[in-house]
């Protein structure tokens, strides 16, 4: 009887006074709405933002971002990107709606992990007057020093707190290009920073020198669906900018990139 009484008192004490570790557990962040993050965006833009195409805007030096989150939202991608001087900025905003499955941060992470699905996506070439693959081949590589191709991993069941990947992307106009992707998680969503770790060239002419392209992608599950918000910057020489339609090149690549992420999210449903 003494043993049974002791066991009963122990269970009762654990119920009334749980261990400190349990008491200090961090609650999940509440799900926010699009209006919470972007209260300044009018109805004229919302239809496009909630469509498959989303909104893509390319800015020249001196123009200001239009899709600016609320000051208390904790999403300052402009500061992330403009650590360097850029003469071209771009911004992308879209919400992929929930359907049969609520999209979460793990779905966003797995969508970004489908690197090879970027290969073969088409765009309209005005020069060739045809639909051609913008990215002829895209693959993960071992590191910034070892460029041997490696396969994409299987979809993860666990969300890592951070990760770095290296990517080789064969561009229809610029040939092989090389990027470093840095993934991280915060309370509400995930962040993905993409930078070229080798120069990007057009006919042997440097278009973007090493580390002169920086793009930051933010994804957050909202009440309406998955937010995809991107701010990217490029420091292009005047010699190149006067010979290549840089805004068009950026917009085409942004559209293909957005299509890829959105398709990856839909594939998780």
Domain encompassing residue 147: 96-230+240-266
Beta-carbon contacts of residue 9 (< 8 Å; ≥ 6 apart) = none
| Residue 136 and residue 177 in contact, taking contact as beta carbons nearer than 8 Å | no
In this structure, is residue 37 part of a structural domain?
no
Alpha-carbon gap, residue 64 to 57, rounded angstroms? 11
Cα-trace Rg, the chain: 22
Vertex 188, ends 55 and 35: CA angle to 5°?
45
The CA distances from residue 216 to 3, 10, 153, 213, 230, in Å, are 61, 52, 22, 10, 6
Alpha-carbon gap, residue 196 to 177, rounded angstroms? 7
Give the burial class of 14: count Cβ atoms within 10 A of its Cβ; 0-12 exposed, 13-18 middle, 19 or more buried.
exposed
In this structure, is residue 82 part of a structural domain?
no
Number of domains in the chain: 1
Q: Compute, in degrees rounded to 10, the torsion defined by CA atoms 80, 190, 141, 211.
A: 0
Alpha-carbon gap, residue 219 to 262, rounded angstroms? 11
In this structure, is residue 12 part of a structural domain?
no
In this structure, is residue 40 part of a structural domain?
no
What is the number of alpha carbons within 13 Å of residue 175 lying toward its C-beta? 11
Q: Are strands 190-196 and 200-202 parallel, antiparallel or unpaired?
A: unpaired
Alpha-carbon gap, residue 111 to 266, rounded angstroms? 9
In this structure, is residue 189 part of a structural domain?
yes
In this structure, is residue 262 part of a structural domain?
yes
**pLDDT per residue of the chain (269 residues) written in tens, 0 to 9:** 444 443 433 333 333 333 433 333 345 678 999 999 999 898 889 999 999 889 999 998 778 888 989 988 999 888 777 777 788 999 999 999 987 789 999 999 999 999 999 999 988 887 778 889 999 999 999 999 999 999 999 999 999 999 999 999 999 989 999 999 999 998 899 999 999 999 999 888 888 999 999 999 999 999 999 999 999 999 988 888 888 888 888 999 999 999 999 999 988 75
In this structure, is residue 128 part of a structural domain?
yes
124-177 pLDDT, tens digit per residue, is 887 778 889 999 999 999 999 999 999 999 999 999 999 999 999 999 989 999
In this structure, is residue 252 part of a structural domain?
yes
Beta-carbon contacts of residue 4 (< 8 Å; ≥ 6 apart) = none
The CA distances from residue 177 to 53, 114, 131, 248, 254, in Å, are 25, 18, 21, 18, 16
- Give the helix/strand (H/E) hosting 108: helix 105-112
Res 93: pLDDT: 96
């Amino acid at each position: 009887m003494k043993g049974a009484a002791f066991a009963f008192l122990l269970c009762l004490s654990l119920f009334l006074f749980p261990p400190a570790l349990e008491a200090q557990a961090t609650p999940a962040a509440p799900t926010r709405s699009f209006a919470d993050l972007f209260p300044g965006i009018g109805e004229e833009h919302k239809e496009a933002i909630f469509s498959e195409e989303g909104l893509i805007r390319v800015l020249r030096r001196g123009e200001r971002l239009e899709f600016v989150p609320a000051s208390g939202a904790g999403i300052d991608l402009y500061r992330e990107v403009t650590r360097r001087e850029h003469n071209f900025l771009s911004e992308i905003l879209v919400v992929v709606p929930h359907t049969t499955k609520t999209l979460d941060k793990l779905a966003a992470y797995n969508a970004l992990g489908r690197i090879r699905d970027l290969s073969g996506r088409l765009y309209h070439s005005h020069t060739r007057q045809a639909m051609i693959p913008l990215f002829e081949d895209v693959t993960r590589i071992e590191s910034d020093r070892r460029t041997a191709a490696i396969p994409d991993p299987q979809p993860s069941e666990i969300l890592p707190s951070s990760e770095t990947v290296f990517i080789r992307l064969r561009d229809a106009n610029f040939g092989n290009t090389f990027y470093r992707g840095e993934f991280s998680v915060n309370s509400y969503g995930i962040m993905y920073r993409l930078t070229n770790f080798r120069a990007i060239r057009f006919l042997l002419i440097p278009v973007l020198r090493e580390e002169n392209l920086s793009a930051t992608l933010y994804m957050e599950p909202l009440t309406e669906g998955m937010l995809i918000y991107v701010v990217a910057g490029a420091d292009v020489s005047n010699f190149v900018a006067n010979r290549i339609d840089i805004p068009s090149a950026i917009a085409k690549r942004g559209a293909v990139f957005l299509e890829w992420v959105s398709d990856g999210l839909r594939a998780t449903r």
